[in-house]
Structure formats: C-alpha cells, structure tokens
C-alpha cells in the first residue's frame, strides 16, 4: 500500500509461505483468459474498473494477523488486511471477486484479479450491468481507482487484447519497443 509520500510498503513472506503448516496452498482455478475475452467480444459497450489497493481491501481474520507480524523502527506491527506476497493472496482475492459476481448473478462481468470488465450488448444493457456490479460491491465496501478505470466505451484494452464488438486483436502496447 502506498503511504502519503507515494512509497509502497513491501514485505517478504517467504518464511511463512514455506511453512506449509501455516499456509496450505489453495487450489483455486482462475477462469481462462481466452474464454473471458471471447465472451466480451460479443458485447458492444465496455467499462473496466480498477480496484484501489485491491488486496488491502480484504480483511484478515484476527487469528491470522500474527503470521504477518514485522518489526520496523523498534516497533512490532501486524497486517489487518491481506498483504501482497502471501501464498494464497491471489487465490483468496480472485475467489472473493468471483463469488460476488456469482452470488449476485452478474451478467457480462469478468474479473481478472483487481481489474473488472463489464460489458453490455447495447448501452442500456451495459449501464444496467455496471449498476448491478457497483451495487453488489458497495455491500462489501470495495473502492475503485477512478484514474485507472474506463467507463462506457466501445473498445477496450484488457489482458493484452484490444476488444470491440466482434473483434479481438492484440493490444498494440504489447508491441512497443522497449
């Protein structure tokens, strides 16, 4: 998470990640990118929403916080929210987002980690799907990075693809010289 000076807090969780008695590897399978992209290409309108400090929006159970303890400036701290770098962080986060989509039966809504793409077969359908998603996530207090989000467009770049109605092309940014 960035502090007010724009510095990102980074911790190494290698020790607890290697202690399988503390953290069993979760076998949560993410959806295939090609299937999501093919479904989105059927839509005409799109929005992509970027979750702000995504993992840090997931609270940790009190009994699990001790495993995240670290020392800084002679003081002991523990994470209260899911930190980046723990073994099951990605799986846990993806499972939560996928559960919101499934539990609320959200249509044309696809999640890839902290990026949510919402489509619609027409503008009204898109607006309805977007509203339903925003209503669902407001119940669990998720917040978005408006600067990284794109709302109501007819072409969108996601997951290394440029998608518009009936068209899937490589994202041109992937071919820019380094």
Digit-coded pLDDT (tens) for 83-122: 877 777 888 888 899 999 999 999 999 999 889 999 999 9
Task: Give the range among 3-7, 90-94, 113-117, 131-135 with minimum mean pLDDT.
Answer: 3-7
Q: How far is CA 40 from the centre of its chain?
A: 17
Q: How far apart are CA 97 and CA 47, in angstroms?
A: 16
pLDDT at 173: 86
Q: How far apart are CA 15 and CA 74, in angstroms?
A: 21
pLDDT at 19: 58
Better-scored residue on pLDDT, 129 or 32 = 129
pTM for the model stands at 0.81
Q: What is the pLDDT of residues 42-82, one digit of tens each?
A: 999 999 999 998 888 989 889 888 888 888 889 998 989 98
Task: Give the range among 27-36, 60-69, 157-166 with minimum mean pLDDT.
Answer: 27-36
Q: Which residues, at least 6 apart from 20, have a Cβ–Cβ distance to it below 8 Å?
A: none
Q: Kindly report the CA angle at 109 between 25 and 145, in degrees rounded to 5? A: 80
pLDDT at 131: 98
């Amino acid at each position: 998470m960035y502090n007010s000076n724009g510095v990102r807090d980074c911790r190494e969780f290698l020790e607890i990640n290697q202690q399988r008695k503390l953290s069993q590897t979760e076998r949560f399978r993410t959806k295939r990118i090609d299937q999501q992209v093919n479904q989105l290409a059927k839509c005409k309108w799109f929005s992509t929403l970027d979750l702000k400090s995504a993992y840090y929006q997931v609270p940790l159970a009190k009994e699990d916080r001790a495993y995240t303890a670290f020392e800084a400036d002679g003081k002991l701290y523990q994470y209260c929210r899911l930190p980046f770098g723990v073994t099951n962080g990605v799986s846990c986060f993806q499972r939560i987002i996928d559960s919101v989509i499934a539990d609320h039966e959200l249509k044309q809504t696809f999640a890839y980690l902290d990026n949510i793409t919402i489509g619609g077969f027409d503008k009204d359908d898109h607006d309805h799907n977007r509203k339903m998603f925003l209503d669902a996530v407001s119940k669990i207090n998720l917040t978005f990075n408006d600067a990284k989000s794109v709302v109501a467009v007819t072409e969108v770049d996601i997951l290394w693809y440029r998608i518009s109605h009936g068209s899937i092309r490589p994202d041109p940014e992937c071919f820019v010289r380094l």
